[in-house]
Chain A
Amino acid sequence: MSPSSRNRTGIVVLAAALAGVSALSACGGVGAKDGASPGGGSALTTMGFGFPDEIATTRVDAFKKAHPEVRLTVNQGQFDEQAFLSAVASGNPPDVVYLGRELIGTYAARGAIQPLDDCVAKEGIAMSDFYPAAQQQVKLNGTWYGVPEFYTSIILLVNDKAAKEAGVDPASIDTSDWDALAALARKMNKVSGGKIERFGFYPKLPEFLPLWAKANGADLLSADGKTSRLDDPKVAEALDYANGLLDDQGGWTKLKAFTDTFDYFGEKNPIAEDQIGMMLTEQFLVTSMASTSPDAKITVLPFKDRQGDPLTMVGGNGWVIPKGAKHPDVACQWIKTMTSADTWIAAAKARAAKRAQEGKPYPGTFTANARADQAIFSQIVKPSGHRPYDDATTTILGVQDKGFVVPQSPAAAEFRTAWLDAATRVMQGRQDAKAALAQAHQEATKALQAAAG
């Protein structure tokens, strides 16, 4: 072999090796294309779910016990839009996804997730067991696209110490009187040397704007999810009022920086640290505090509209099956197990036992399954001797049927962005409420019309 041909051979061998490496690299990380597990049984891959506690692990164990043949892969971590859509677009999605129910409308309208009517019928999932507001969030144009999991309600959490310092009985606080509420917020607020020491009343703008609007008698979106109502003067009035609360207490930029320092779910939560006078919050902050601050002096009250009626905004996550999922049947079985009353009851029992062992109160697990809740709160949750948490349970249960949701819409993401951005512009002092909502109404209407085709 001549030197030149040896060189050519060397080049060819090296090029082939590199091509081989490239090809191998391209295969790296991709699972079996047909989705079959190596053992021959079926497989299931989840996205957006994790094992933070016994509420999750008990239900996952129930699935494993019922379906031992399924090779389960739980990709732990929060739902990530880019990862999800890339997976769907590339034809290699997970089998089942756990995400915020407010996202379901957009994904359903674009065909990123599958209709679940067949799944519901085949597995006999009792959708009527779920709270009506939660049902509304997983349905688009009469078709099921998801199954709800937790049920979050908004309540008023009061720091008793702050209330007493302001000279009021915490149990007497009434959010229906907006003038009195504003005055109390100012009283509870503490500022020293230009620094905020206690946020008197945190109205949770921008995310709770729908609640403030509803309390003032207005909806952000029509019931059919097709028409923006952001230009309703009552929405502007509500935003103006809630933003005024912020201005009175130091202004949004300072208050936001202050709330960014909060450790909501730790032992040094804002109530324990006396950083908050009262706040609107999802009930899960209270159930978390039962573990981190079992002896906290708090009062949990319903948020009331201006007519004095209790009102709450409903949220929570749900399970969906993406387009192109390789094991939709197994995914459906998973969804049924994770959301069924029996599984929830088992999880609640595990939580109650753990809290009892720790000597901490258990205010309950608030699921979207009303039948599960009925059993949990009649059989499992018992008075703990920690009165604030026992009373909190009663309050939270009392508002559950007063819940409303922002209706699902094919342009849910754009609509939500429009009103959230508008509220933020107002809070930052860049626009007044009327102008900001007029702009948001235009943006939302354009998006809703485009989505309607």
Chain B
Amino acid sequence: MARPLSGLARHEARWAYVFLLPWLIGLVVFQAGPMVASFVLSLTDYDLISRPKFAGLGNYAAMLEDPKVGRAIGNTAFYTVLHLPLALVISLLLALMLNRVTGRAAGFFRTVFYLPSMTPYVAVGVLFLFLLNGQAGLVNQFLGLFGVDGPQWTTDPAWVKPGIVLMSLWNLGSTTIILFAALRNVPHDLYEAAMIDGAGPWQRFRSVTLPMISSALFFVVIINTIAALQMFDQVYTMFFGNQTAQHSYGDSALFYVVYLFQQGFQFLHMGYASALAWLLFAIIGIITIVQVKVGNRFVYYEAEPPGGTR
């Protein structure tokens, strides 16, 4: 049975709710409300202009017959599977490097590593369209230094998605900062104890660092998976930004949210687009549940033991 709250605790709880209020209002007005609305719309035939007409599960049935849904899911899954491990490994490497930098240089490097995250996504998309150009882009020019004839990253259907993955690795600042913060919280005495026991750098990393930052790793896996499945801005800017571009690259970059956007705002099938949104929500939900179930076996939580302080 839960203990009744003391007066001070009640007082603090009340203020906590007050400070949560702006977020709660935002949640209800800008997230929960639109979610309910989109679910209702997913059961209708709605073109944004006329009144929605009830269509039952028609939109969901139509998705099964729409080959572009499968194509968009395939493209998005391909990107996610490629992006996620690369993003994690590179972010962790960057965080480990940052963790070793001390003194005045530390602040400088932390800022520099985070700077790409401050660049607007649209600007990144345009920038990489030039960098990845198969004819004149810097990426292929760099590969050329090693005698490698680089692929057509932006126009060859087989290389478009790897190119997008390459672009996505530009923006790892947030993940790096989260992992860096976790690394800073690993108690130094654990490393000292490991060294006294004769553990080398790799063993210390594997047996001390990784378990101690596993909760942060788990968090960034979940967040990056969701972000990858919702990829839109950069891809849209690169391959769908204007009418001519929309069709010059084919559907090799047709990511799920791009297709959802096309259905909603180009073809005015907002009911269908809403159904697509709910399918994505279900996919993300299932993947997240699986990740949580699997992740809980490997994650070390530094929680308070039952009964009070440690």
Q: Can you give 22 contacting A-B residue pairs, CB < 8 Å?
A: A4-B11, A11-B15, A81-B265, A82-B261, A85-B48, A85-B49, A89-B49, A112-B268, A195-B135, A253-B155, A254-B134, A254-B155, A257-B134, A257-B154, A257-B155, A260-B135, A261-B136, A323-B49, A417-B266, A420-B247, A421-B250, A421-B251
- B152, A14: Cβ atoms under 8 Å? no
- B15, A260: Cβ atoms under 8 Å? no
Q: Point out the residues of chain B lying under 8 angstroms from A260, CB to CB.
A: 129, 133, 135, 154-155
Within 8 Å of chain A (Cβ to Cβ): is B78? no
Contact residues of B with A, CB < 8 Å? Answer: 7, 11, 14-15, 18, 21-22, 25, 47-50, 129, 133-136, 149, 152, 154-157, 242-244, 246-252, 261, 265-268
Complex alpha-carbon distance, A4 and B244, angstroms: 66
B47 CB, min distance to chain A CBs, angstroms: 5
Within 8 Å of chain B (Cβ to Cβ): is A382? no
Q: Point out the residues of chain B lying under 8 angstroms from A447, CB to CB.
A: 267
- B133, A14: Cβ atoms under 8 Å? no
Question: Helix, strand, loop or mixed for chain A's interface?
Answer: helix
Chain B interface: which of A217-225, A287-295, A422-430?
A422-430
A residues 275-306 with Cβ under 8 Å of B?
none
B300 CB, min distance to chain A CBs, angstroms: 38
- A18, B265: Cβ atoms under 8 Å? no
- A112, B49: Cβ atoms under 8 Å? yes
Complex alpha-carbon distance, A195 and B133, angstroms: 12
Q: Point out the residues of chain A lying under 8 angstroms from B265, CB to CB.
A: 81-82, 85
Within 8 Å of chain B (Cβ to Cβ): is A252? yes
B177 CB, min distance to chain A CBs, angstroms: 29
A residues 68-87 with Cβ under 8 Å of B?
78, 81-82, 85
Q: A18-B18, A413-B266 are in contact. List 6 more A-B contacts (CB 8 A).
A: A4-B11, A11-B14, A15-B18, A110-B49, A256-B249, A424-B249
- B267, A413: Cβ atoms under 8 Å? yes
We find that the number of chain A residues with CB closer than 8 angstroms to chain B is 46
- B21, A15: Cβ atoms under 8 Å? yes
Within 8 Å of chain B (Cβ to Cβ): is A196? yes
**Nearest opposing residue in chain A for B11, CB measure:** A7
A residues 395-432 with Cβ under 8 Å of B?
413-414, 417, 420-421, 423-425, 427-428, 430
Within 8 Å of chain B (Cβ to Cβ): is A377? no
- A424, B248: Cβ atoms under 8 Å? yes
- B135, A196: Cβ atoms under 8 Å? yes
**Nearest opposing residue in chain B for A88, CB measure:** B49
Q: Mark A306-327, 1 if CB is under 8 A from B, else 0.
A: 0000000000000000010000
Complex alpha-carbon distance, A252 and B134, angstroms: 12
Complex alpha-carbon distance, A34 and B4, angstroms: 55
Complex alpha-carbon distance, A38 and B248, angstroms: 46
Within 8 Å of chain B (Cβ to Cβ): is A100? yes
Partner of A424, one of B18, B25, B250: B250
Q: Point out the residues of chain A lying under 8 angstroms from B133, CB to CB.
A: 257, 260-261
